[in-house]
């Protein structure tokens, strides 16, 4: 069964969603990302994908306190990406309880960091984020065309010991137009690395189709805007009931 990561993107301390990662397209869904984490946990999320958007744009962590509150709020593993470019930042994130870091720009600019994190913390503690536009890796908050082919980068990372890729098709991100299933499958088949797919999921049917790629190594998917826009069965009922609750139950830790 494919694992679903609800996405929590943090900008200026708030939970937002962007369209294709473009600044200025953000829609604020919550002033408190920790409360968003509690909501997804209350709806049976087994893990969360958190992104420091300010960090991605500026090249270093910017929302550490908000991230810390998310970690403290729930009892499930959290993977984090966005602006993680140094060993010190990686170590700090593990110290506050982040389960896995996602290294994107650093994978191209400082592959030795990837190697060192794997050596010191283990292969399960790091994934490489490959954010692609027309098959080419974009870095620095999706603003810089690296000129590097996405599959070539994945194979290079595999040689360093990476066992998981978080693969995002930028053209689909935030569009709810359906994932790029062909590109996701190609990445999985040509690399034989476990793939977490991201970008474009719009409905339950997309998840069913994504599950068909599990046999190729796509074992998880990140879902953002579709969840926030209540595009799945039962969400309307959950939202109605949650309005009456002051506490979402035993998953709440803040």
What global pTM score does this model have?
0.90
What mean pLDDT is predicted for residues 226-247?
71
Question: What is the tens place of the pLDDT at every residue in 36-65?
Answer: 999 999 888 999 999 999 999 999 999 999
Hey, is 238 helix, strand or coil? Answer: helix
Q: Is residue 254 part of a domain?
A: no
Active-site residue, selected from the candidate residues 52, 54, 131, 169: 131
C-alpha dihedral sign at 70, 72, 77, 79: positive
Question: What is the tens place of the pLDDT at every residue in 130-172?
Answer: 999 888 999 887 778 889 999 999 999 999 999 999 999 887 7
Q: Is residue 253 part of a domain?
A: no
Higher pLDDT pick, 150 / 250: 150
Is 131 one of the annotated active-site residues of the chain? Answer: yes
Q: Is residue 252 part of a domain?
A: no
Question: What is the tens place of the pLDDT at every residue in 2-37?
Answer: 999 999 999 999 999 876 656 677 889 999 999 999
Number of domains in the chain: 1
Q: Is residue 250 part of a domain?
A: no
Q: Is residue 20 part of a domain?
A: yes
Residue 36 tokens, joined: 């968003």
pLDDT for 253 equals: 43
Hey, is 197 helix, strand or coil? Answer: strand
Q: Which domain holds residue 157?
A: 3-242
CATH number of the domain enclosing 7: 3.20.20.70
Is 9 one of the annotated active-site residues of the chain? Answer: yes
């Amino acid at each position: 069964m494919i694992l679903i990561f609800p996405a929590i993107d943090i900008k200026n301390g708030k939970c937002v969603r962007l369209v294709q990662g473009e600044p200025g397209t953000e829609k604020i869904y919550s002033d408190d990302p920790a409360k968003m984490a509690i909501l997804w946990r209350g709806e049976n999320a087994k893990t969360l994908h958190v992104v420091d958007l300010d960090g991605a744009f500026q090249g270093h962590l910017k929302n550490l306190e908000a991230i810390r509150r998310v970690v403290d709020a729930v009892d499930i593993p959290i993977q984090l990406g966005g602006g993680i470019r140094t060993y010190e930042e990686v170590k700090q994130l593990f110290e506050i309880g982040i389960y896995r870091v996602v290294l994107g720009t650093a994978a191209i600019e400082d592959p030795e960091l990837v190697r060192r994190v794997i050596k010191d913390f283990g292969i399960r503690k790091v994934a490489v984020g490959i954010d692609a536009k027309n098959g080419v890796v974009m870095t620095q908050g999706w603003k810089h065309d690296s000129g590097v082919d996405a599959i070539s980068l994945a194979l290079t990372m595999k040689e360093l010991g990476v066992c998981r890729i978080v693969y995002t098709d930028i053209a689909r991100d935030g569009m709810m137009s359906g994932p790029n299933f062909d590109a996701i499958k190609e990445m999985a088949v040509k690399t034989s690395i476990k793939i977490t797919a991201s970008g474009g999921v719009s409905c339950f049917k997309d998840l069913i189709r994504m599950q068909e790629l599990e046999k190729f190594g796509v074992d998880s998917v990140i879902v953002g805007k579709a969840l926030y826009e209540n595009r799945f069965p039962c969400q309307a009922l959950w939202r109605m009931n949650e309005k009456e609750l002051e506490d979402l139950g035993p998953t709440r830790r803040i």
